[in-house]
């Protein structure tokens, strides 16, 4: 029995080791790499040169040695700024400063060593290459400079994926298409963990919420258009790979507030004045505010980061029939052409008294008018990075989002539904990502990940308004179309509510 147990343990360890070997030639989806070639003044290769890579922000170090062809590769590097120290017998030391490492891609830095005694140290400055000549992946990196400075409507950081070649909007609901492929066939990851809605194949929370993760918490992301590594997978379209910020030895933080109001916007030419909208400018007032802070708990060992993001949006809607005055074109005894929004149709009905007609019109009028609608959201994200030793880094990230939008299932300024037939939109997202990066030796590294997540999405009918029958939430049950769903008025409980979307 003991020998069988040892054999099983050996198999498990072997499988784990083989999983780690896959990282020898590729950086993981949460880290980057530095690679290059070391040569002498005559362009001859320098084998067995010692390469030390240091993260300027956290002090973390990684080591490598050039091979017989003078090349080196240091993988599993957290995105950030680095410096490289290279030493070799008979040569002066060289230092490469300000090396930028980006997520999911290698940075190439070639270094020339001078003969010892001619120059003690050669300063070499490395930058992220404009053209990628060492990786077949078609990808675009969106970094902090772009996220902080480029204008964006709504502050959904992943919307910057439209900057990548071959990426276009897919419909009018926030989806994006890579290479003309449906937006439902993309894959989204955050810190190496899954960020997909399980049923509709969109980002968590779907596109009807502002975002599932604050832009203030995003360090950078890569839009992989094609030829991406098999480690991403699960996508016929593109892969959006996001990495959150981390703390450093220096304390950094910031506050933000964005305010948007219809007072500063032009009138929508497609919306015409009405009783509810005399100036044809529906109200839409949005406050987005929050902040972030990061720093060290123990220098070079333990770091923290925390972000908070909140939105308060007030954007009331107008409930009215789709055909305006002709909706009420009722004559006693006959429903005439155009009545209730129909065209080319005459239906003989029982004779109605004027009092009955007035009562029916008054009831329908009572279901129209201004609808108090909101879209409120709260997010916070704490993160811990623990550099256990030079070979192991443990990271824990928790992201919590709450979305509450009374009457928010319908988002258009004018909706052809009764005031109590809009539906309330609710989304709760909780995600915990744990990750252990281990450098087994200079040639083998391993990344172990664990994720627990919940994406609870609900759409429910509002309670019946005061004075209305309570046969069901949101007015009468079942719902009914007076005229048609596009030209008339939908009253009662919508036929698609209530529902809970699996996540």
Q: Is the confidence at residue 465, as pLDDT, over 50?
A: no
- Beta-bridge mates of residue 33: 106
Q: Is the confidence at residue 123, as pLDDT, over 80?
A: no
Q: What percent of the chain is predicted at pLDDT more than 90?
A: 32
Nearest alpha-carbon partner for 182 in 224, 140, 236: 236
Residue 152 in tokens: 């964006």
Residue 80 backbone class (left: φ over 0; alpha: ψ -120 to 50; beta: rest):
left
**8 lies in a domain?**
no
Strand 392-405 and strand 424-439: the pairing is: antiparallel
Cα→Cα distances 194→53, 372, 451, 460, Å: 30, 35, 8, 27
The per-residue pLDDT for 122 is 56
**131 lies in a domain?**
no
The per-residue pLDDT for 328 is 60
Same domain, 103 and 114: yes
Same domain, 469 and 494: yes
| Confidence band, pLDDT 50/70/90 cuts, at residue 355 | confident
Same domain, 379 and 354: no
**315 lies in a domain?**
yes
Nearest alpha-carbon partner for 238 in 189, 172, 174, 171: 189
The per-residue pLDDT for 34 is 92
Same domain, 35 and 159: no
Same domain, 249 and 357: no
| Confidence band, pLDDT 50/70/90 cuts, at residue 323 | low
Q: Is the confidence at residue 149, as pLDDT, over 90?
A: no
Domain encompassing residue 171: 136-244
The per-residue pLDDT for 393 is 94
Same domain, 405 and 316: yes
Query: How many domains would you assign to the chain?
Result: 4
Residue 196 in tokens: 């997909």
| Confidence band, pLDDT 50/70/90 cuts, at residue 24 | very low
Q: Is residue 123 exposed (0-12), middle (13-18) or buried (19+ Cβ within 10 Å)?
A: exposed
- Beta-bridge mates of residue 456: 428
Of 119-133, 318-332, 337-351, give the lowest mean pLDDT range: 337-351
Buried residues in 214-251 as b, exposed as e (16+ CB within 10 A): bbbbbbbbbbbbeebbeebeebebbbbbbbbbbbbbee
| Unique residue bearing structure tokens 């990548």 | 164
**172 lies in a domain?**
yes
Q: Are 160 and 146 in contact (CB under 8 A)?
A: yes
Nearest alpha-carbon partner for 65 in 90, 100, 36: 36
**9 lies in a domain?**
no
| Confidence band, pLDDT 50/70/90 cuts, at residue 463 | low
**141 lies in a domain?**
yes
| Unique residue bearing structure tokens 């029995």 | 1
The per-residue pLDDT for 431 is 96
Of 147-156, 208-217, 228-237, 450-459, give the lowest mean pLDDT range: 228-237
- Beta-bridge mates of residue 125: 97
The per-residue pLDDT for 70 is 92
The per-residue pLDDT for 376 is 95
Q: Is the confidence at residue 486, as pLDDT, over 70?
A: no
| Confidence band, pLDDT 50/70/90 cuts, at residue 245 | very high
Q: What is the pLDDT of residues 362-394, one digit of tens each?
A: 777 788 888 889 999 999 999 999 999 988 999
The per-residue pLDDT for 279 is 65
Which residues contact residue 245 at a Cβ distance below 8 angstroms, ignoring those fewer than 6 apart? 217, 218, 219, 292, 294, 305, 307, 383
- Per-residue pLDDT averaged across 441-470, rounded? 75
Neighbours of 1 (CB within 10 A): 5
Same domain, 258 and 395: yes
Q: Are 397 and 433 in contact (CB under 8 A)?
A: yes
- Name, of 68-77, 124-133, 137-146, 482-491, the range with top average pLDDT: 68-77
Question: Please, what is the average pLDDT of the chain?
Answer: 80
Taking the C-alpha atoms of residue 276 and residue 192, their distance in angstroms, rounded to an integer, is: 48
Neighbours of 450 (CB within 10 A): 11
Give the end of a domain, one of 334, 367, 400: 367
Same domain, 76 and 220: no
**18 lies in a domain?**
no
The per-residue pLDDT for 360 is 74
Same domain, 453 and 336: no
| Strand ranges for 171-275 from DSSP E | 175-178, 187-190, 193-194, 218-226, 239-244, 252-260
Q: Is the confidence at residue 304, as pLDDT, over 70?
A: yes
Q: Are 266 and 249 in contact (CB under 8 A)?
A: no
The per-residue pLDDT for 154 is 84
Same domain, 98 and 38: yes
Query: Which one has a higher pLDDT value, 104 or 304?
Result: 304
Give the end of a domain, one of 244, 270, 289: 244
Of 243-252, 297-306, 485-494, give the lowest mean pLDDT range: 485-494
Domain with residue 105: its CATH number is 2.60.40.10
Q: Is the confidence at residue 338, as pLDDT, over 50?
A: no
- Name, of 109-123, 188-202, 328-342, 421-435, the range with top average pLDDT: 421-435
Give the end of a domain, one of 244, 276, 291: 244
Q: What is the pLDDT of residues 71-121, one digit of tens each?
A: 999 988 999 999 999 999 888 888 888 899 988 888 889 998 988 766 545
Taking the C-alpha atoms of residue 235 and residue 369, their distance in angstroms, rounded to an integer, is: 45
- Per-residue pLDDT averaged across 132-142, rounded? 72
Of 313-317, 354-358, 411-415, 428-432, give the lowest mean pLDDT range: 354-358
Query: Which one has a higher pLDDT value, 149 or 475?
Result: 149
Same domain, 76 and 142: no
Query: Which one has a higher pLDDT value, 352 or 461?
Result: 461
Same domain, 301 and 331: no
Taking the C-alpha atoms of residue 139 and residue 317, their distance in angstroms, rounded to an integer, is: 41
**357 lies in a domain?**
yes
The per-residue pLDDT for 136 is 63
Q: What is the pLDDT of residues 425-434, one digit of tens each?
A: 999 999 999 9
Residue 135 in tokens: 């990786």
- Per-residue pLDDT averaged across 459-486, rounded? 59
């Amino acid at each position: 029995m003991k020998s069988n147990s040892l054999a099983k343990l050996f198999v498990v360890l072997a499988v784990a080791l083989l999983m780690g070997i896959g990282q020898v030639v590729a950086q993981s989806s949460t880290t980057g790499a530095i690679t290059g070639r070391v040569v002498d003044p005559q362009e001859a290769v320098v084998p067995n040169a010692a390469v030390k890579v240091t993260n300027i922000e956290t002090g973390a170090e990684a080591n490598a040695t050039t091979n017989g062809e003078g090349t080196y590769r240091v993988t599993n590097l957290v995105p950030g700024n680095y410096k490289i120290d290279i030493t070799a017998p008979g040569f002066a030391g060289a230092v490469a400063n300000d090396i930028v490492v980006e997520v999911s891609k290698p940075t190439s830095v070639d270094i020339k060593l001078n003969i010892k005694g001619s120059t003690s140290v050669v300063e070499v400055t490395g930058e992220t290459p404009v053209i990628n000549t060492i990786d077949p992946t078609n990808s675009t990196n969106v970094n902090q400079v772009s996220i902080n400075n480029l204008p964006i409507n709504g502050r959904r950081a992943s919307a910057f994926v439209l900057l990548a070649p071959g990426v276009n909007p897919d419909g009018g609901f926030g989806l994006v298409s890579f290479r003309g492929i449906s937006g439902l066939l993309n894959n989204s990851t955050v810190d190496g963990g899954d960020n997909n809605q399980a049923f509709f194949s969109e980002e968590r929370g779907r596109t009807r919420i502002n975002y599932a993760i604050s832009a203030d918490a995003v360090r950078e992301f890569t839009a992989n258009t094609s030829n991406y590594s098999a480690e991403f997978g699960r996508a016929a379209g593109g892969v959006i790979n996001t990495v959150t910020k981390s703390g450093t030895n220096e304390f950094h933080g910031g506050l933000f507030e964005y305010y948007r109001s219809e007072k500063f916007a032009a009138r929508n030419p497609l919306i015409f004045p009405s009783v509810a909208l005399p100036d044809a400018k529906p109200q839409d007032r949005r406050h987005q505010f929050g902040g972030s802070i990061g720093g060290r708990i123990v220098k070079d060992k333990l770091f923290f980061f925390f972000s908070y993001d909140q939105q308060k949006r007030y954007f009331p809607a107008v409930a009215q029939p789709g055909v305006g005055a002709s909706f009420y074109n009722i004559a006693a005894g006959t429903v005439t052409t155009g009545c209730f929004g129909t065209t080319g149709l005459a239906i003989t009905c029982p004779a109605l008294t004027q009092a009955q007609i007035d009562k029916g019109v008054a009831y329908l009028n009572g279901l129209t008018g201004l609808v108090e609608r909101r879209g409120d959201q709260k997010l916070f994200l704490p993160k811990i990075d623990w550099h256990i030793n030079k070979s192991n880094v443990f990271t824990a990230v928790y992201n919590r989002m709450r979305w509450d939008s009374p009457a928010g299932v319908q988002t258009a300024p004018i909706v052809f539904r009764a005031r109590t037939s809009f539906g309330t939109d609710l989304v709760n997202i909780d995600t915990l990502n744990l990750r252990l990066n281990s450098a087994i030796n200079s040639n083998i590294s391993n990344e172990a990940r664990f994720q627990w997540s919940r994406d609870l999405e609900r759409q429910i009918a509002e309670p019946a308004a005061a004075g209305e029958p309570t046969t069901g939430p949101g007015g009468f049950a079942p719902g009914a179309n007076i005229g048609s769903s596009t030209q008339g008025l939908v009253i009662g409980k919508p036929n698609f509510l209530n529902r809970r979307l699996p996540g």
